[in-house]
Amino acid sequence: MRLPKTRKTRGKTGGPRALTPQQATRRFKVGLVTEFRLTRHIKEQMVKPDRDFDMGDVRHVARLGTVRRPGEYDIRYGTYSYCMEGHDVGGSALNIIFVVGRDHVKLITGVRP
């Protein structure tokens, strides 16, 4: 028996369910306190002059930011990525792209809109 591939029950390829923006916001905030992982990509982006942010800025976005849109499904990895929108410590706009794992939050990149 094949499971339906609807958004309510399964992801687009029968993978994980998409979180609502509210659920993704909550998981991001909790994940930064408990267990998070940095990708090599976000580490590289943090030091670029046009991005220039650090973990203090990421935590500030986590405290005051929010996920406003549904996650985007990545067929290569079978996961949904989410965009936490907020501002860094200095007040400049900063969005953090992340993935929610079973027991962690993985930070993918930071973007200045």
Query: How many domains does the chain fold into?
Result: 1
- 107 located within any domain: yes
State the pLDDT at residue 53: 94
- 5 located within any domain: no
pTM for this predicted structure: 0.80
- Cβ–Cβ under 8 Å, residues 61 and 29: no
What domain range is 86 assigned to?
21-111
- 14 located within any domain: no
Per-residue tens of pLDDT for the chain, all 113 residues = 333 343 443 444 556 789 999 999 988 888 776 788 999 999 999 999 999 999 999 999 999 999 999 999 989 988 999 999 999 999 999 999 999 887 889 999 999 99
β partners of residue 67: 84
- 50 located within any domain: yes
- 7 located within any domain: no
- 9 located within any domain: no
Q: What angle do CA 67, 70, 74 make, to 5 degrees?
A: 110
